[in-house]
């Protein structure tokens, strides 16, 4: 494939990235977006604001077919990406009228006065394409290979802030990269998100079958209790890959469109017109917080409790003091009573609960740190419960346990228990 | 100052970093650690596993006084950092006996059989220091400038996984860097964390005074509703800087040791032997989740409610239907009744509440998206309430509002209202 041989380098400028005040997320983001197009990042370089960009750019151009620079397009004296590029390529900088108008409009719309320094943002090397920025004052720049006197290497200059960079990449950069790299326009990507199953299960279960599909590239991305499978290639190849993945793992499928597990749960609740209540102990509110990260969740999520203490479990959810004494707070009985109490008080359709030991202290030989009981109580139907064991650090355990509860709710709603 | 002129480059190797499957956090981490020593990263480079390391290393050595390479020290055929370094420096690789013993012990301790491929991890360039790894099988390597025939540049080879890298940096790399760079041993760092005040307030308020302190370096790091001020220099200079910062901003101080706001709140509650209950609407459980991220929070945080709907506010916290109808769910009256209801049911010392409009929908001209009312109810004392307006995206608003509530609790406990 031609596209695999395209050498692309990414240069990120910004002193704050090297001081560590701001996490550089651009490297990874470009990696994922270019992988989607069948392309790879050959090298990623971070340099401070100022002169360093000039040297880095010259070096990268000599190794690359495409160089993408982010940052340094602002109005201050430290923002030198435009100037450095013009100098390295031996091109004059001139003011672009359309860009100037668009910057003036940006300020006018916000009833702000444009500073004189902003006018330098409308400059671009002679003959380059000026890439409109719908979300900020810095337009991007595209220097096509034919303008590059050093080597036939394309150069993109893009703004640093993600909310300006991402839309500009999709609208202006991606089509040009497809044309440059000969990326097949019918190239398709499917991203399947799974939970409750590990990456190694995929390796053992379907790697060999996926590898046998002609023209399919695939990759995994694993997080706590979550695996994404990315399938890239022609429409036929990706659909074939998806069929294989689902034939083995459909019961673990969260979404086919990148939706988070919490977004999937909210959507399922909306579709079924179910309401949800949550009774959390060891997750301490994290499940509620994840659910309420989803716009529209207020219509389906009605009641939440965080009952860290035995007294709270008794007072708020009607858990029996007897059960706590006999079986302990981390037990199937208590998890069930928490969920059933939450269902009763909320008067809704579903209520989920979790009680466990997050650590670092509180574990026993019988119930070590990482143990949790989950339950889902349902209107007019028996309560479902499950035990998990996920020994991790405190925050990792909260994430894993909240993932398990959301997944149990998903499986209860879709009747895949 | 000599140390400012040390040119340091960081090379991170790893195909997964360039594919975007793994976020590269090393760049930022080294930036912060080196800043603490008065040093700067001049350039950070990411290259895939394999040959690319050789070219990058050669280029960096020619620009630098110190080059730090992470990754590629594993046992597989893709792990070529040792080999590339020996080749670039023209040094022979030989097996280090102590390193070999330590790898064998690592496996023996875990009752595992050492693979033959692991023996290559015990190799190091002739004359180099082998840096012990207490947390994995890959020892690090230090090639001092005198062994480098190309230029007097020091080269460190370090493992990629943070849990192996960080301890090795503190134990083996930092002392050598201090010696190389002439870093003053009494160099001190103070990190002050503030909330409820903006970075621009510091610029206007104390920048000029800080800049006037001889031998003091300072920097800010701003996040949502949070600013860190880092003071670095001799003990005298940092203490003088701290005094100036606190004379203007002590009422906004969260911690002097990097502790998060939630950790500070838990500590204050423990000190005062107070218990806390939380009644959340728009933050949807995020405050509870942040509090329960702190080990030991179970002793002070007793009851939490997430009352998204009017019915839940009435049922669970005894908010008056009248108040909801007359003033609306986002009002001072409802916030106060939520906090007072939470205090009553929990029977504790403090209860905090928040009710607001996270968006994207639900705003009105009177109460636009970003509006929230907070309250803290206290045993035997009047309830305190505050209004905030933080128009942000949904998750940003939840963070900002939870920050404001935690800060109000902090100020109530420390009587700084």
Of B255, B278, B306, the last residue of a domain is B255
Q: Mean of the pLDDT values across residues B284-312?
A: 95
Using CA coordinates, name the residue in chain A closest to B344. A315
- pLDDT value for A395: 86
- pLDDT value for A393: 83
Q: What is the mean pLDDT of chain A?
A: 91
pLDDT-derived band at A204 (thresholds 50, 70, 90) equals confident
Instruction: Say if residue A167 is in the same domain as residue A105.
Output: yes
> Residue B14 region, left (φ>0) first, then alpha (ψ -120 to 50), else beta?
left
Dump pLDDT digits (tens) for B16-30.
888 877 778 888 899
* Chain A nearest CA to B347, separation (Å): 10
Q: What gap in Å lies between CA B99 and CA B91, rounded to an integer?
A: 18
Instruction: Say if residue A29 is in the same domain as residue A160.
Output: yes
Respond yes or no on whether the N-terminal peptide bond of residue A360 is cis (omega within 30° of 0): yes
Instruction: Say if residue A339 is in the same domain as residue A235.
Output: no
| Among A86, A38, A41, CA closest to A64 | A41
| Cβ-nearest to B308 among A21, A47, A298 | A298
Of the given ranges (A67-76, A169-178, A296-305, B264-273), which has the lowest mean pLDDT?
A67-76
- pLDDT value for B1: 33
Of the given ranges (A100-109, B142-151, B346-355), which has the lowest mean pLDDT?
A100-109
pLDDT-derived band at B184 (thresholds 50, 70, 90) equals low
Q: Mean of the pLDDT values across residues B193-211?
A: 89
CATH number of the domain bearing residue B219: 3.30.70.2860
Query: DSSP secondary-structure letter at B5?
Result: G
Q: What gap in Å lies between CA A281 and CA A342, rounded to an integer?
A: 13
Dump pLDDT digits (tens) for A121-152.
999 999 999 999 988 888 999 999 999 988 99
Length of chain A counted residue by residue:
417
Residues of chain B neighbouring A19 (CB-CB closer than 8 A)? 31-32, 35, 40-41, 219
- For residue A370, the SS3 value is coil
B143 close to B128: Cβ distance less than 8 angstroms:
yes
Does residue A239 have a pLDDT over 80?
Answer: yes
| Record: contact A302-B280, CB cut-off 8 A | no
Instruction: Say if residue A302 is in the same domain as residue A379.
Output: yes
Query: DSSP secondary-structure letter at A329?
Result: S
Residues of chain B neighbouring A398 (CB-CB closer than 8 A)? 289, 292-293
Residues of chain B neighbouring A29 (CB-CB closer than 8 A)? 20
Using CA coordinates, name the residue in chain A closest to B396. A293
Cα distance between the two ends of chain A: 44
Does residue B2 have a pLDDT over 70?
Answer: no
Q: What is the mean pLDDT of chain B?
A: 91
Q: Mean of the pLDDT values across residues A235-246?
A: 96
Q: What's CA A339's distance to the chain center, in Å?
A: 31
| Record: contact B20-A32, CB cut-off 8 A | yes
Using CA coordinates, name the residue in chain A closest to B59. A59
Q: What gap in Å lies between CA B238 and CA B188, rounded to an integer?
A: 7
* Chain A nearest CA to B48, separation (Å): 7
- pLDDT value for A47: 95
| Record: contact A303-B289, CB cut-off 8 A | no
Instruction: Say if residue A277 is in the same domain as residue A165.
Output: no
| Cβ-nearest to A20 among B28, B59, B289 | B28
Task: Tell me the torsion sign for CA atoms A403, A408, A413, A417.
Answer: positive
- pLDDT value for A49: 85
| Record: contact A20-B29, CB cut-off 8 A | yes
Instruction: Say if residue B22 is in the same domain as residue B88.
Output: yes
Using CA coordinates, name the residue in chain A closest to B14. A43
| Record: contact B394-A295, CB cut-off 8 A | yes
Residues of chain B neighbouring A293 (CB-CB closer than 8 A)? 284, 394-395, 398
| Among B161, B150, B153, B9, CA closest to B142 | B153
Residues of chain A neighbouring B166 (CB-CB closer than 8 A)? none
Dump pLDDT digits (tens) for A337-379.
999 999 999 999 999 999 999 888 888 888 999 999 999 999 9
Dump pLDDT digits (tens) for B122-147.
999 999 999 999 888 889 999 999 99
Residues of chain B neighbouring A359 (CB-CB closer than 8 A)? 295
Using CA coordinates, name the residue in chain A closest to B49. A42
Residues of chain A neighbouring B219 (CB-CB closer than 8 A)? 19, 21
| Record: contact A46-B48, CB cut-off 8 A | no
Chains A, B: CB contacts within 8 A come to: 244
- pLDDT value for B391: 85
| Record: contact B289-A295, CB cut-off 8 A | no
| Record: contact A312-B305, CB cut-off 8 A | no
Query: Which of B8, B20, B64, B330 to substitute to test the interface with A, most A CBs within 10 Å?
Result: B20
Instruction: Say if residue B291 is in the same domain as residue B395.
Output: yes
CATH number of the domain bearing residue B364: 3.90.950.20
| Cβ-nearest to B360 among A31, A32, A295 | A295
Does residue B162 have a pLDDT over 70?
Answer: yes
| Cβ-nearest to B284 among A21, A291, A346 | A291
- pLDDT value for A1: 33
pLDDT-derived band at A184 (thresholds 50, 70, 90) equals low
Rg (CA), chain B: 27
Q: What gap in Å lies between CA A310 and CA A315, rounded to an integer?
A: 9
CATH number of the domain bearing residue B123: 3.40.980.10
Instruction: Say if residue B200 is in the same domain as residue B99.
Output: no
| Cβ-nearest to A28 among B23, B286, B289 | B23
ipTM: 0.79
Residues of chain A neighbouring B33 (CB-CB closer than 8 A)? 20
Does residue A296 have a pLDDT over 60?
Answer: yes
Dump pLDDT digits (tens) for B225-263.
898 898 888 899 999 999 999 999 999 999 998 899 999
Of B151, B181, B211, the last residue of a domain is B181
Q: Mean of the pLDDT values across residues A255-278?
A: 96
Q: What gap in Å lies between CA A295 and CA A270, rounded to an integer?
A: 12
| Among B46, B53, B52, B14, CA closest to B27 | B46
pLDDT over 70 percentage in chain A: 98
What range defines the domain where residue A161 resides? 2-181
Q: What gap in Å lies between CA A360 and CA B14, rounded to an integer?
A: 32
Helices (H) and strands (E) in chain A, counts: 15, 17
Instruction: Say if residue A274 is in the same domain as residue A126.
Output: no
Does residue A3 have a pLDDT over 60?
Answer: no
- pLDDT value for A361: 83
pLDDT-derived band at B3 (thresholds 50, 70, 90) equals very low
B50 close to A60: Cβ distance less than 8 angstroms:
no
B259 close to B193: Cβ distance less than 8 angstroms:
yes
Does residue B273 have a pLDDT over 60?
Answer: yes
Instruction: Say if residue B239 is in the same domain as residue B355.
Output: no
Query: Which of B29, B40, B46 to substitute to test the interface with A, most A CBs within 10 Å?
Result: B46
| Cβ-nearest to A345 among B278, B291, B315 | B315
How many CB atoms sit inside 10 A of residue A182's CB? 11
| Record: contact B298-A306, CB cut-off 8 A | no
Q: How many domains does chain A have?
A: 3
Q: Mean of the pLDDT values across residues B40-58?
A: 92
User: CA geometry: angle at B415 spanning B413 and B417, to 5°?
Assistant: 110
Dump pLDDT digits (tens) for B80-127.
999 999 999 999 999 999 899 988 888 888 777 787 778 889 999 999
Instruction: Say if residue A321 is in the same domain as residue A366.
Output: yes
Kindly list the distances between the CA atom of residue B23 and the CA atoms of A10, A120, B12, B161, B355, in Å, as whole numbers in the listed order. 15, 34, 12, 12, 35
More confident residue, A364 or B351: B351
| Cβ-nearest to B289 among A33, A43, A285 | A285
Using CA coordinates, name the residue in chain B closest to A301. B308
Of A158, A181, A204, the last residue of a domain is A181
Instruction: Say if residue A192 is in the same domain as residue A278.
Output: no
Does residue A292 have a pLDDT over 90?
Answer: yes
* Chain A nearest CA to B356, separation (Å): 12
Residues of chain B neighbouring A265 (CB-CB closer than 8 A)? none
Cα distance between the two ends of chain B: 43
Residues of chain B neighbouring A351 (CB-CB closer than 8 A)? none
Of the given ranges (A22-26, B101-105, B317-321), which has the lowest mean pLDDT?
A22-26
| Record: contact A360-B295, CB cut-off 8 A | yes
Q: What gap in Å lies between CA A102 and CA A132, rounded to an integer?
A: 8
Please report the DSSP string for A26-93 in residue order: HHHHHHHHHHHTT--EEEEEEE-SSTHHHHHHHHHHHH-SEEEEES--SSSTT--HHHHHHHHHT--E
């Amino acid at each position: 494939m031609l596209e695999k041989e395209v050498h692309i380098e990414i240069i990120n400028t910004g002193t704050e990235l090297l001081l560590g005040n701001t996490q550089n997320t651009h490297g990874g983001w470009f990696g994922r977006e270019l992988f989607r197009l069948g392309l790879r990042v050959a090298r990623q370089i971070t340099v401070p604001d100022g002169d360093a960009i000039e040297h880095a750019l010259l070096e990268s151009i000599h190794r690359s077919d495409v160089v993408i620079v982010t940052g340094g397009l602002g109005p201050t004296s430290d923002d030198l990406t435009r100037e450095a590029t013009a100098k390295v390529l031996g091109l004059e900088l001139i003011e672009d009228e359309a860009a100037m108008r668009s910057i003036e409009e940006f300020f006018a719309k916000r009833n702000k006065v444009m500073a004189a320094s902003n006018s330098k943002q409308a400059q671009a090397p002679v003959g380059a394409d000026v890439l409109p920025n719908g979300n900020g004052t810095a337009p991007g720049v595209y220097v096509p290979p034919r303008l590059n006197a050093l080597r036939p290497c394309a150069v993109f200059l893009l703004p640093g802030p993600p909310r300006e960079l991402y839309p500009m990449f999709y609208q202006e950069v991606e089509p040009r990269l497809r044309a440059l790299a000969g990326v097949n326009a019918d190239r398709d990507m499917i991203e399947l998100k799974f939970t409750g199953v590990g990456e190694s299960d995929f390796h053992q279960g379907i790697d060999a079958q996926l590898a046998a599909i002609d023209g399919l590239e695939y990759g995994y991305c694993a997080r706590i209790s979550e695996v994404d499978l990315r399938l890239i290639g022609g429409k036929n190849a990706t659909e074939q890959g998806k069929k294989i993945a689902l034939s083995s793992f459909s019961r673990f499928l969260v979404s086919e469109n990148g939706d988070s597990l919490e977004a999937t749960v909210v959507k399922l609740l909306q579709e079924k017109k179910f309401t949800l209540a949550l009774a959390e102990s060891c997750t301490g509110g994290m499940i509620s917080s994840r659910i309420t990260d989803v716009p529209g969740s207020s219509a389906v999520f009605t009641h939440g409790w965080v009952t860290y203490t035995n007294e709270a479990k008794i007072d708020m959810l009607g858990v029996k003091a007897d059960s706590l004494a006999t079986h302990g707070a981390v037990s199937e009985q208590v998890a069930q009573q928490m969920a059933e109490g939450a269902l009763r008080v909320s008067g809704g359709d579903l209520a989920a609960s979790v009680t466990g030991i997050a650590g670092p202290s509180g574990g026993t030989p019988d119930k070590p740190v990482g143990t949790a009981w989950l339950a889902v109580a349902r209107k007019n139907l028996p309560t479902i419960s499950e035990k998990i064991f996920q020994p991790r650090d405190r925050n990792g355990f909260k994430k894993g346990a909240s993932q398990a509860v959301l997944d149990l709710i998903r499986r209860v709603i879709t009747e895949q228990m």
